[in-house]
Structure 1
Amino acid sequence: MRDDLRLRVARADDLTPSVRRFVLEDPAGAALPGYRAGAHVAVTTPAGHRRSYSLVEPGARAPLRYVLCVRRDADGRGGSVSMHDDVAVGDELDVSAPANAFPLLRARRYLFIAGGIGITPVRAMVGELRARGGAEVRVLYLTRSPEETAFLDEFSADGSLVHHSALHGRLDLWPHLAEPDDDARVYCCGPTELVREVQALTAHWRPSRVHVEDFAGVDALGGRRAPFTAVWEPTGARVEVDAGTTALAALERAGVVLEASCGSGTCGTCRLRLLAGEAEHRDMVLTADERAGWFMPCVSRALSPELVLAPPDRPGGPGGGPAAGVH
Structure 2
Amino acid sequence: MAETLELILAEREELTPYVTRFVLRSPTGATLPGYSAGAHLTLTTPSGEKRSYSLVEAGEQQPTEYTVCVRREDQGRGGSLSMHRHARIGDTLTVSGPHNSFGLEPARRYLLIAGGIGVTPIRSMANELRRNEDAIVDVVYLSRSRDDTAFAEEFEQSGAVVHHSAVQGRFDLWPLLAEPDEDTRVYCCGPQPLIDDLLALTMHWRPSRVHVEDFAGVDALGGRQVPFQAVWEPTGEQITVPAGRSLLHTLRDHGIRVPSSCESGTCGSCRIRLISGEADHRDLVLTEDERSRYMMPCVSRAAGPEVSVAPDGFEDPPH
The TM tier, using the shorter chain, reads over 0.9
| Gap change, CA 1:225 and 1:178, over 3 Å in 2 | same
The alpha-carbon deviation at position 3 of structure 1 amounts to 5.5
Q: Which residue identity is paired with 2:33?
A: P
Instruction: Tell me what 2:142 maps to.
Output: 142
The alpha-carbon deviation at position 91 of structure 1 amounts to 0.5
Instruction: Tell me what 1:289 maps to.
Output: 289
Q: Which residue identity is paired with 1:144?
A: R
The alpha-carbon deviation at position 223 of structure 1 amounts to 2.5
Contact 1:35 1:60 in 2 (8 A): yes
Give aligned-pair identity as a percent.
59
The alpha-carbon deviation at position 2 of structure 1 amounts to 8.5
Please show how residues 165-314 of structure 1 align to structure 2 within 5 Å. Answer: 165-314=165-314
Contact 2:2 2:97 in 1 (8 A): no
Q: Provide the rounded CA distance (Å) in 2 between the counterparts of 1:194 and 1:41.
A: 23
Q: TM-score when scaled to structure 1?
A: 0.93
Contact 1:33 1:62 in 2 (8 A): yes
The number of aligned residues is 319
Q: Provide the rounded CA distance (Å) in 2 between the counterparts of 1:176 and 1:90.
A: 45
Q: Provide the rounded CA distance (Å) in 2 between the counterparts of 1:26 and 1:168.
A: 43
Q: Provide the rounded CA distance (Å) in 1 between the counterparts of 2:312 and 2:74.
A: 32
Deviates more, 1:180-189 or 1:230-239: 230-239
Please show how residues 158-169 of structure 1 align to structure 2 within 5 Å. Answer: 158-169=158-169
Contact 1:25 1:64 in 2 (8 A): yes
Q: SS of 1:282's equivalent?
A: coil
Q: Provide the rounded CA distance (Å) in 1 between the counterparts of 2:293 and 2:87.
A: 35
Q: Which residue identity is paired with 1:215?
A: F
Contact 1:272 1:309 in 2 (8 A): yes
Q: SS of 1:43's equivalent?
A: strand
The alpha-carbon deviation at position 287 of structure 1 amounts to 3.1
Q: Provide the rounded CA distance (Å) in 1 between the counterparts of 2:129 and 2:283.
A: 27
The alpha-carbon deviation at position 239 of structure 1 amounts to 2.0
Q: Provide the rounded CA distance (Å) in 1 between the counterparts of 2:315 and 2:80.
A: 34
Instruction: Tell me what 2:74 maps to.
Output: 74
Q: SS of 1:101's equivalent?
A: coil
Q: SS of 2:28's equivalent?
A: coil
Query: 1:59-108, CA deviations, whole angstroms, 9 ceiling, x for partnerless residues?
Result: 11221111000001101111111100010100011110211111111111
Contact 1:101 1:288 in 2 (8 A): no
Deviates more, 1:193-202 or 1:234-243: 234-243
Query: 1:122-173, CA deviations, whole angstroms, 9 ceiling, x for partnerless residues?
Result: 1111111111331110000001111111111111111111111112111111
Query: 1:252-305, CA deviations, whole angstroms, 9 ceiling, x for partnerless residues?
Result: 222222110112212221111222211111222223333222211011111122
| Gap change, CA 1:106 and 1:146, over 3 Å in 2 | same
Contact 1:273 1:309 in 2 (8 A): yes
Q: Which residue identity is paired with 1:82?
A: S
Q: Which runs of 4+ in 1 moved over 6 A?
A: none
Q: SS of 1:291's equivalent?
A: helix
Q: Provide the rounded CA distance (Å) in 1 between the counterparts of 2:128 and 2:190.
A: 20
Q: SS of 1:239's equivalent?
A: strand
Please show how residues 31-180 of structure 1 align to structure 2 within 5 Å. Answer: 31-180=31-180
Contact 1:165 1:171 in 2 (8 A): yes
Q: TM-score when scaled to structure 2?
A: 0.95
Gaps of 5+ in 2: none
Contact 2:72 2:84 in 1 (8 A): yes
Q: Which residue identity is paired with 2:134?
A: G
Q: Provide the rounded CA distance (Å) in 2 between the counterparts of 1:237 and 1:49.
A: 30
Q: SS of 2:41's equivalent?
A: strand
Q: Which residue identity is paired with 2:196?
A: R
